[in-house]
Amino acid sequence: MLHATDRAENEFEDIYSGHLGRRSLPKLVIPDGPSDPRTVYALIRDELALDGNSSQNLATFCTTWTEPEVHRLMDDCVSKNMIDKDEYPQTAEIESRCVHILANLWHSPSGARTIGCSTTGSSEAAMLAGLALKWRWRKRHGTGRPNLVCGPVQVCWEKFARYFDVELRQVPLRPGATGLRPEQLRAHVDENTIGVVAILGVTFTCDYEPVAELAAELDAIQADTGLDIPLHIDAASGGFIAPFVQPDLEWDFRIPRVASINSSGHKYGLAPLGVGWVVWRSADLLPEELIFRVDYLGGEMPTFALNFSRPAGEIVAQYYNFLRLGREGYTAIQRVCLDTAAHLAGQIERMGPFTLLYDGEGGLPAVCYTTTDDAGFSLYDLSLQLRIKGWQVPAYPLPPDRQETVVQRVLVRHGISRDVISLLAQDIRWGVEQLIGAPAKRPHVSFHH
Ligand SMILES: *Cc1c(COP(=O)(O)O)cnc(C)c1O
């Protein structure tokens, strides 16, 4: 007689009538025995299918489409730990090439003196850049409570401030503005300001903050008060857009005051999820005390990171994209995304009840809009209508002091085609119709007793 476990090894049990498939899956306690891998795979895959469809997820900045070669490289790297730089020297070398390619793309004045690293995303990169600012401030002053001045930043900067005990001086939005403006700086900076963060691609509206003007105002503040305040650029999204489609826009190390830049490889860098980058203008801007040298993996390797073990595949995939696409390939992809976003902006404007806050020109490939005063419906309700059709388009209020303005934002990424965006526009029209018009068209349900 065959034991159950022997049987599982010898025959493929039916997925849905086998011992795992015919009951609900264990959720709180590890099962006693093993199960057939094909069955487990199929059942988990079925569950994952209940997640939103990533090609209809217009809320995320992150990569949702990758070439088959990227999948293969990720598979090839599944056993590699990027922290083991001595065991996997070529992976470490590839990470270093990516840092130098990015430093060059962002116009680092001296490639060889540039220092930077990969991270799990822009959030970790923001922590590292923020820590470097805090340490440099401490060396200069060492007293008082440090503060960081910024506009409507992504939540990672709020986390940085709380986790590392820095006061976040988030400057409220002026009426009509979507980001930090130079004339607001002077009232918020002081001798304990560790830095100012400017955003290339504001999360809420997708336009750019005026980096060069902010830097010029900090120059003026230094001339008047002697305060030399460094600028960090959160280019989570814009860092992979501007260099390709607006090469003349000065937002990066061409501006001497820019000390460091972060970007998300897994957003418009087109790498799969799990990679970000932070680069300093020159090595002296990253305090030595933050660099740890570990020798127990063999060799002595300097590291600056919040994590230790981390997958290597995303970093390798980033390098693949640099080689595969080159400057021309990235430019073509980002340009098409921008054109598609501008096309959607035109459609939305013509629908009537919307006012554009960002029309896809000059910033990220995205559209941001609010409703007109007499629209007669809310964007929260429109989001729900779009959900019925599978679209994920978020609605949310702008940050202080513009919380009364509720907006919707659509992101166009590599893999979101013009046709998909046309179908979305059609469903936005449909959604608006459901909310304001044609009550006769609503299904009439009657109950007979
Ligand atoms: C997405 C984003 C972040 C956080 O990046 P992750 O890569 O998701 O950690 C930070 N800042 C801005 C402006 C962003 O758009």
DSSP letter string, 90-135: HHHHHHHHHHHHHHHHTT-S-GGG-EEEEESSHHHHHHHHHHHHHH
Residue 179's nearest CA partner among 338, 346, 368, 311 is 368
- 41: enclosing H helix or E strand: helix 37-48
**pLDDT band at residue 314, thresholds of 50, 70 and 90?**
very high
So what's the pLDDT on residue 333?
98
Q: Is the CB of residue 323 less than 8 Å from the CB of residue 97?
A: no
Say how many Å lie between the CA of residue 277 and the centre of ligand 1. Answer: 11
Which residues lie below 8 Å from residue 435, measured CB to CB, with a gap of 6+?
376, 377, 381, 382, 385
Q: Does domain 68-321 have CATH number 3.40.640.10?
A: yes
Q: Is the CB of residue 15 less than 8 Å from the CB of residue 35?
A: no
SS3 of 316, please?
Answer: helix
CATH number corresponding to 331-435:
3.90.1150.160
The Cα–Cα gap between 70 and 64 comes to 12
What is the domain partition of the chain in residue ranges?
A: 4-51, 68-321, 331-435
Per-residue pLDDT for 303 more than 90?
A: no
**Contact 205 CB / ligand 1 (< 6 Å):** no
**Contact 123 CB / ligand 1 (< 6 Å):** yes
Give the length of the chain: 449
Per-residue pLDDT for 6 more than 70?
A: no
Per-residue pLDDT for 88 more than 80?
A: yes
So what's the pLDDT on residue 237?
98
So what's the pLDDT on residue 441?
47
So what's the pLDDT on residue 205?
97
- Provide the β-strand partners of residue 200: 208
- Interval 110-122 mean pLDDT: 87
Say how many Å lie between the CA of residue 437 and the centre of ligand 1. Answer: 38
**pLDDT band at residue 140, thresholds of 50, 70 and 90?**
confident
- Interval 361-368 mean pLDDT: 98
So what's the pLDDT on residue 248?
98
Per-residue pLDDT for 5 more than 90?
A: no
Q: Is the CB of residue 214 less than 8 Å from the CB of residue 231?
A: yes
Residue 116's nearest CA partner among 130, 134, 128 is 128
**Contact 203 CB / ligand 1 (< 6 Å):** yes
Task: Tell me how far the alpha carbon of residue 77 is from its chain's centroid.
Answer: 23
pLDDT, one tens digit per residue, over 12-46 is 689 999 989 999 999 999 999 999 999 999 999 99
**Contact 204 CB / ligand 1 (< 6 Å):** no
- Interval 156-162 mean pLDDT: 98
Among the ranges given (79-93, 122-136, 296-310), the one the predictor scored with the smallest mean pLDDT: 296-310
